[in-house]
Chain A
Amino acid sequence: MGSYIIKRLISAIPLLFIISLITFGLINLSPMDPAKVVLEAQGVPKITEELIAQTKADLGMDKPFIIRYFDWVVACLHLDFGTSYVTGKPVWSLIGPAFLNTLKLTTVSSAAIIVLSILLGVACALTAGRLIDKSVRGLSFFLTAMPSYWLASLLIWYFSVHLDLLPTSGMASVEHYILPVTVITVSYVGIYFRFVRSSMLSNLNEDYVLYGRACGLSEWKVTMHILRNSLQVAVSIFCMAIPIILGSTVVIENVFAWPGLGSLSVRSILNRDFPIIQAYVLILAAAFVLFNTISDIINAAMNPKLRNGL
C-alpha cells in the first residue's frame, strides 16, 4: 500500500507540469498586451510605444517564452505568483486569503454533502420502492431543479429578512455559514445520494450478501459490507466534487458577499489581471490533480484489486 501511494504521487507530477505549461501558454495567447493593461490600470494618460517597451522590460516580457515560463514555475513553487497588474500587490496576498475563505466554505459544504449523501443513499437503498425512498427521491428532484441563486434568495428572504434569524452576508461567525452551506449542499446532495443508492442496490444482489445472510450474519454487518463495497464508486465522485465546488462557488459567493476565490477571479477576469487569473487556474487545476490522486489512494485502500493496477 505504501509503495502504491508513492507511485501514485509521482505519477501526478508530469500532469502538474503539463497543466502549468497549458495555463501559462493560454494566457500568453491572449490578444491583450499585458504591458498595456498595466499602464491602463496605473492610469497613465498617454500610452506611448516607449512606455510599453519600458513596462515590458520591467515585467520581464521581453525574454523568450520558455525562459519566462521557467521563471514563473520556479517562482510559483515558492508561492510567488507575481504582482497584480491592477493593484500592484503580490498575487499571493490577494489570492491566499480568498482561497482560504473559499476553502472553508468548500470544506464545510463537502463534509455536509458526503455525510448526507451517504445517509440518504443508504436509507433509500434499504427502503427501495417504499415510501421513504420515493419521497426522498421526489423531494430531491424538486430541490436539485431549483437554481442555487434563487434558492439562496428564497432562504435569505425567509430566514434573514422575515424571521431575522440568520445573517444575510459576510463570514464573521458560524451562523454565516448556515445559509451558503445549505444552498451548496442542497444542489449537490440531490445528485450524489443517487450514486450511493444505485451502487448499494446493485451490491444487494451480489452473492456475498446472500452468503453472509446464509451464514447468519446480522443485517447490520451485512449492510456494512455492502456499504464498504458501494462507497468505492462514491469516493471518486465525492473527491471530484470538492474541486468542482471550489471552482464553482462564484454564484453563492456573490449572493452572500463571501470574500472568496469566486468573487476575486471574476473581478480579475473583468480587469484582465493576468497574474491572478494564472494563479487561480493553476490552483484549481492542482486541486483537481490532488483530489483525483487522493480518490485513487482511498479507492486502493478500500479495494485490494486496484493496488496492483499501477
Chain B
Amino acid sequence: MNILEVKNLKIWDSQTGKGIITNSSFQLKQGSCLGIVGESGSGKSVTCRSIMRLNKPPLRQSGNILFKGEDLNTLSEKDMRRRRGKNLCMIMQSGMSAFDPSNVIGVHLHETLSEHFGWNKAQVAEKMGHAMRSVMLENPLEMMNKYPHQLSGGMLQRTMIALSIVLEPDIIIADEPTTALDAISQFEVVDQFVKLRKQMGSSIIFVSHDLGAVKKMADEVLVMKDGEIVDRGDIQSIFSESQHEFTKYIVSARMALSGNFNNLMRSV
C-alpha cells in the first residue's frame, strides 16, 4: 500500500517562469524507504520541500501529493501546518543551522511538542530524554540546556532524529542528513536511521548523494537529473543492472572512488 503518491508534480519559478521540476510522479510504500540520489541542483531538496509545501515564493507547485489518499496540495495552510511534524517530519542537512542559534535547543523541542501534543516542560524532558538516550545521546537534560554552537553537528543531527522518534510521524523526510558530517558521525547517524526504521516502521524518504548510505537504507531508488527522474528501481537493480547511462555513471564513479580507497587501505 502506498502511503504517499506524488502525481505530475511540477515546480516552477513564478518570476522567471523557469521550470525546476518538470513532471515528477513517484510513490512511497508504507514502511519502506525511498532513496533519492542525484547531483547538486538536480531538484532533490526542492522535491522534498514540495511534499511539505515549504518551498518559498517565487517557487510555485502543482500536481497531486496524496498522503493516505488526501491531497496535501489542496489543504488549507492551517491544516497543512498540523500535518507538518506530526505526520510528515523533516530531518535537515545541517544540524548546526537547523536550530535557532539564540535559544537552547530545548526551546525548539518544547515548542514543537507542545504545539502537537500540548505537553509541558516536564513531559517534554521525559519523552525527549528517553528518545535521546535511544540515539546514544548521554545526558539529554544537560544537552537540552545547551545552545546549538555548544554541540557538535552529529549530536544535533541525532537530536533531530530523537525528536522525530517522539513525534512518531508517518513519513520521515531526510534531506541529505549525513552530508555535513565527518565520516564517523555519518556512520553513527546512518546507523540510527536503520534502527529507527526497524523500531518504528516509519516510511522514509532519504535524499543523499552518498550512495553508500542510500544502499544501506533504501528499498527503492529514484535517480534525478536536471529536475527529472531519469531512472528508478529497487536498490539491487539500480546498483547492479541499471540500463540508464547516468545511473551507470554515478554508480561507477562511486565504485571507482571506493575502489581507490580500498586499494589505499590495503597498501597501508
Measured CB to CB, the residues of A under 8 A from B are: 204, 206-208, 210-218, 221, 225, 228-229, 232, 302-305
Task: Choose one: A215, A217, A225; the contact of B163 (CB below 8 Å).
Answer: A215
Contact A303 to B101, CB < 8 A, known contacts A210-B54, A211-B90, A215-B163 = yes
Chain B interface residue count, CB cutoff 8 Å, equals: 31
Instruction: Write out the residue numbers on chain A whose beta carbons fall within 8 Å of the beta carbon of B56.
Output: 204
Q: Taking the complex as formed, is B121 at the interface, i.e. its CB lies under 8 A from any CB of chain A?
A: no
Least CB distance, B230 to chain A, in whole angstroms: 27
Measured CB to CB, the residues of B under 8 A from A are: 49, 52, 54, 56, 81-86, 89-90, 92-94, 97-103, 108, 111-112, 115-116, 147, 149, 160, 163
A207 near B115 with CB under 8 A, answer: no
Contact A221 to B111, CB < 8 A, known contacts A207-B97, A207-B98 = yes
Task: Choose one: B100, B108, B147; the contact of A229 (CB below 8 Å).
Answer: B100
Least CB distance, A127 to chain B, in whole angstroms: 12
Instruction: Write out the residue numbers on chain A whose beta carbons fall within 8 Å of the beta carbon of B49.
Output: 210
Task: Choose one: A217, A221, A229; the contact of B102 (CB below 8 Å).
Answer: A229
Task: Choose one: B52, B92, B111, B149; the contact of A207 (CB below 8 Å).
Answer: B92
A210 near B92 with CB under 8 A, answer: yes
A304–B90 CA distance with the chains assembled, in angstroms: 26
A302–B103 CA distance with the chains assembled, in angstroms: 9
Instruction: Write out the residue numbers on chain B whose beta carbons fall within 8 Å of the beta carbon of A305.
Output: 101, 147, 149
Instruction: Write out the residue numbers on chain A whose beta carbons fall within 8 Å of the beta carbon of B81.
Output: 216, 218
Instruction: Write out the residue numbers on chain A whose beta carbons fall within 8 Å of the beta carbon of B89.
Output: 214-215
B85 near A215 with CB under 8 A, answer: yes
B94 near A207 with CB under 8 A, answer: yes
A304–B150 CA distance with the chains assembled, in angstroms: 10
Contact A216 to B97, CB < 8 A, known contacts A207-B92, A211-B90 = no
A213–B17 CA distance with the chains assembled, in angstroms: 26
